[in-house]
Chains A and B, each alone.
Chain A
Amino acid sequence: MSDQSTQAPHTVARVPRNPAANEEAYLEVTDLQVQFPTADGLVRAVQGLSYSVPLRRTLAIVGESGSGKSVSSMAVMGLHDRKVARISGSIKVGGREIVNMSDKELEGYRGGDAAMIFQDPQSSLHPYFTIGDQITESYRAHNNVSKRKAKDRAIEMLGRVGIPNPRRRVDQYPHEFSGGMRQRAMIAMALVNDPKLLIADEPTTALDVTVQAQILDLISDLQRDFGSAVVFITHDLGVVAEIADDILVMYAGTAVEHGPVNKILGEPLHPYAWGLLESIPALTGEPQPLHPIPGSPPSLLAVPTGCPFHPRCEFKDRVPGDLCTTLKPDLIPRTADLGRTSRCHLKEPDQVFQTEILPRLP
């Protein structure tokens, strides 16, 4: 038991993310389309998505189920079965084109330069093999080293992600790990080859909030040490505010807003982003009634014409004519702010936000 001097909690400062820096993109996605032909028709999961992420920066992709956030990221990892998915456009990672890469090349790419962390560590770790086996397998697939050396590397990585007693833990099976520890083990496995691009698909959604906080810290620390580009997929805007530099809001397979995180969450310009902010209950102040977005997201089998958000948009009547229902707006700068874009026909969205939306926010 401890003495008086340790009577302070172990605290971690919340560091605001650094402002935009113009660096060369490591990951560059241009006009990405992903479609799945099905018996019911063509599912247009991703329609013309473009974004870029430089090294040492984190892009958060935000959206609801069926917005295309996971499908687009799986395309970046080259994980789609090309017999099932139709992919067009360009995905460049470190100058290499991923779309149309041969299966053999993809094997060298996945787990080497690019790695992915999944939401559910339970189903991403094989129950029959020890944690150590799974990490060494990934290491030896990309490096010509002895089993012994690979195991040393696995122990080093487990220690690096904060698993206590890694020498003993390396020979244990996934079921002997708690949920948070499994997520750490999966991060160790993803990072074993020093990937320059890390894609984290809802890595903390299945975790409790205190464990989530530990994992978010870990990902930030590791990114700083390894200098990787990170794509972080989530639906939790609080997590985005803490971990990301840039944010891309997706709706029905398209990007509707893109830019630095403090701008997009602080002064969003798209009615969908407004709706999201108005749907989140606050942790301080008198509870205000929520203003949810009416209706539900469209089926990707029949994406609405014009702006895909128009059936749920309360501002479409302010746009003259039937522009919203007939013409899909472009993703363009709407204000003098550099480096941010929005896809909406509404005039002076910054004014609308300041006068009508901001007072309603908790």
Chain B
Amino acid sequence: MSTTTTPAKSGVRSVEGAPLLQLDGVKMHFKTKGDGFFARGTKWVQAVDGVDLTISPGETVGLVGESGCGKSTTARLITRLLEPTGGQIRYQGVDIAHMNERQLRPYRREIQLIFQDPYSSLNPRHTVGTIVGTALRTHDMVAKSGELKRVQELLEVVGLNPEHYNRYPHEFSGGQRQRIGIARALAARPKIIVADEPVSALDVSIQAQVMNLLENLRKELGIAFVFIAHDLGVVRHFCDRIAVMYLGRVVEEGPRDSLYEKPQHPYTQALLSAVPDIGVVRGVPPKNRIRLVGDVPSPVDPPSGCRFRTRCWKAQDICATDDPALIERAPAQRVACHFAEPPAESILAETA
């Protein structure tokens, strides 16, 4: 890789031939207050502990995992709302992990975030025009005279009535508010959108509307997505590549089809088999479910070696001593497990 960087007009530097976004051993350890005198017994919550991830232009990468696995923290690291305690976050080859606010400004424009809760992520005292317009102004996207026109264009793109620019968030439904959040993210003409559970708070019929909107935007504008969700069906529908996280680490990563059809990590297998399946009523023979025992261990004091070993039915002595590396076990499919293998039979019920 060449070391010369070429600053573009936007102020974003880039290294020739580097991937759009690359996380390299990214760590985020949060300090917790110790109960001892002089903060003795200070502990570190290892929310994200060594995540590697690469995103190419226009690609959609899904992050799945259960609460506390670090997927939202990863979203906040990519968008640099948090400064990592270790590792590198390279945007077009340039490490943005420890940049200050002023240096970050041009990068903030190119990496946008969509939030889960459409009710708390919009300022209730601002009109939709102000909310979207602020994003335009912050990043000097249009001249003042063209601002309203651009706001209306954006509202139209996300399927809202452009005449409603002077309304307030409370006048919109949940699905419409999520569209406002999407319009705000699009205002900066980003190259990457990090969507943190963008449809989880919405009703089923509205959820499908917003997913179709995101899908169209991706196809038409060629924006890369980091799509975070706990609903495995939603992630599968939207993403080319999916990474499964457990307790701050990526345990398995691969192309959509191989990950859902031939998951190799025991945790991925358990996760997929736990999804309630509507196919049962359409005469699809029911599959047995893998039941995980116990709870996710605390990220303050994670198990030694493989972090999943305390709940894993395959665990051996080696799992407690050797931390399994994320290595390629099938084409483009990387697994962090000493005993990785595809399941004997399909985890998901086949549709006839």
Q: Hey, which bits of chain A sit against chain B, CB under 8 A?
A: 1-2, 6-16, 64-65, 178-181, 208-214, 216-217, 235-242, 261-262, 265-266, 275-285, 287, 289-294, 296-297, 362
Main secondary structure of the interface of A (DSSP, over half): loop
Report which of A237, A266, A296 forms a contact with B175, defined as CB distance below 8 A. Answer: A296
**Interface flag for B143 (CB, 8 Å):** no
Q: How far is the CB of B292 from chain A (nearest CB, A)?
A: 5
CB atoms of A290 and B211 under 8 A apart = yes
Residues of A contacting B232 in the complex (Cβ-Cβ under 8 angstroms): 209, 283
Contacts known (A9-B313, A213-B289, A241-B276); A262 close to B66, Cβ less than 8 A: no
Q: How far is the CB of A202 from chain B (nearest CB, A)?
A: 13
**Interface flag for B123 (CB, 8 Å):** no
Query: What would be 13 A-B contacts, judged by CB atoms less than 8 Å apart?
Result: A2-B315, A6-B313, A15-B286, A64-B205, A210-B66, A213-B276, A216-B276, A280-B208, A283-B236, A284-B349, A290-B211, A292-B205, A292-B207
Residues of A contacting B261 in the complex (Cβ-Cβ under 8 angstroms): 284
**Interface flag for B43 (CB, 8 Å):** no
CB atoms of B351 and A292 under 8 A apart = no
Q: How far is the CB of B203 from chain A (nearest CB, A)?
A: 4
Closest to B233 in A: A281
Q: How far is the CB of A176 from chain B (nearest CB, A)?
A: 12
Interface size on B, residues (CB 8 A): 60
Contacts known (A241-B278, A266-B281, A281-B236); A9 close to B270, Cβ less than 8 A: yes
Find residues 198-235 in chain B having any chain A CB closer than 8 Å to their own CB: 203-209, 211-212, 215, 230, 232-234
Report the bound CA distance from A178 to B68 in whole Å.
12
**Interface flag for B320 (CB, 8 Å):** yes
Report the bound CA distance from A11 to B288 in whole Å.
6
Find residues 134-161 in chain B having any chain A CB closer than 8 Å to their own CB: none
Report which of B234, B274, B282 forms a contact with A266, defined as CB distance below 8 A. Answer: B282
Most chain A C-beta atoms within 10 Å of own C-beta, residue among B67, B230, B276, B313: B276
Report the bound CA distance from A240 to B313 in whole Å.
29
CB atoms of B276 and A208 under 8 A apart = no
Contacts known (A178-B295, A179-B67, A238-B277); A290 close to B212, Cβ less than 8 A: yes
Residues of B contacting A65 in the complex (Cβ-Cβ under 8 angstroms): 174, 203
Residues of A contacting B206 in the complex (Cβ-Cβ under 8 angstroms): 64, 292, 296
CB atoms of B290 and A275 under 8 A apart = no
Residues of B contacting A290 in the complex (Cβ-Cβ under 8 angstroms): 208, 211-212, 237
Mark each residue of chain B from 314 to 352: 1 if its CB lies under 8 Å from any CB of chain A, else 0: 111101100000000000000000000000000011110
Q: How far is the CB of B83 from chain A (nearest CB, A)?
A: 28
Report the bound CA distance from A155 to B95 in whole Å.
55
Contacts known (A279-B208, A284-B349); A241 close to B280, Cβ less than 8 A: yes
Find residues 217-261 in chain B having any chain A CB closer than 8 Å to their own CB: 230, 232-234, 236-237, 260-261
Mark each residue of chain B from 299 to 316: 1 if its CB lies under 8 Å from any CB of chain A, else 0: 000000000000001111
CB atoms of B274 and A213 under 8 A apart = yes
Residues of A contacting B314 in the complex (Cβ-Cβ under 8 angstroms): 7
Most chain A C-beta atoms within 10 Å of own C-beta, residue among B282, B289, B295, B315: B289
Report which of B207, B274, B316 forms a contact with A279, defined as CB distance below 8 A. Answer: B207
Report the bound CA distance from A135 to B288 in whole Å.
34
Contacts known (A1-B315, A208-B67, A296-B175); A284 close to B276, Cβ less than 8 A: no
Report the bound CA distance from A261 to B204 in whole Å.
19
CB atoms of B208 and A9 under 8 A apart = no
CB atoms of A276 and B205 under 8 A apart = yes
Q: Hey, which bits of chain B sit against chain A, CB under 8 A?
A: 66-67, 173-176, 203-209, 211-212, 215, 230, 232-234, 236-237, 260-261, 266, 269-272, 274-283, 286-293, 295-296, 313-317, 319-320, 348-351
Report which of A9, A238, A282, A294 forms a contact with B266, defined as CB distance below 8 A. Answer: A9
CB atoms of B270 and A284 under 8 A apart = no
CB atoms of A261 and B209 under 8 A apart = no
CB atoms of A10 and B291 under 8 A apart = yes
Contacts known (A238-B277, A241-B277, A283-B232); A10 close to B204, Cβ less than 8 A: no
Residues of A contacting B316 in the complex (Cβ-Cβ under 8 angstroms): 1-2
CB atoms of B291 and A214 under 8 A apart = yes
CB atoms of A292 and B288 under 8 A apart = no
Residues of A contacting B237 in the complex (Cβ-Cβ under 8 angstroms): 281-282, 287, 290
Closest to B349 in A: A284
Report which of A6, A209, A235, A242 forms a contact with B204, defined as CB distance below 8 A. Answer: A235
Give 12 A-B pairs besides A13-B288, A277-B278, A284-B348 with Cβ atoms closer than 8 angstroms. Answer: A10-B291, A11-B288, A208-B67, A211-B66, A214-B291, A241-B280, A265-B281, A279-B208, A280-B208, A284-B351, A292-B205, A296-B206
CB atoms of A262 and B281 under 8 A apart = yes
Report the bound CA distance from A240 to B270 in whole Å.
20
Residues of B contacting A241 in the complex (Cβ-Cβ under 8 angstroms): 276-281
Contacts known (A1-B316, A262-B281, A296-B173); A209 close to B233, Cβ less than 8 A: no
Closest to A204 in B: B276
Report which of A14, A64, A242 forms a contact with B288, defined as CB distance below 8 A. Answer: A14
CB atoms of B205 and A293 under 8 A apart = yes
Report the bound CA distance from A283 to B276 in whole Å.
10
Report the bound CA distance from A259 to B349 in whole Å.
24
Report the bound CA distance from A282 to B235 in whole Å.
10
Report the bound CA distance from A209 to B173 in whole Å.
27
Report the bound CA distance from A283 to B271 in whole Å.
12
CB atoms of B205 and A279 under 8 A apart = yes
Report the bound CA distance from A256 to B314 in whole Å.
48
Report the bound CA distance from A15 to B207 in whole Å.
30
CB atoms of A217 and B291 under 8 A apart = yes
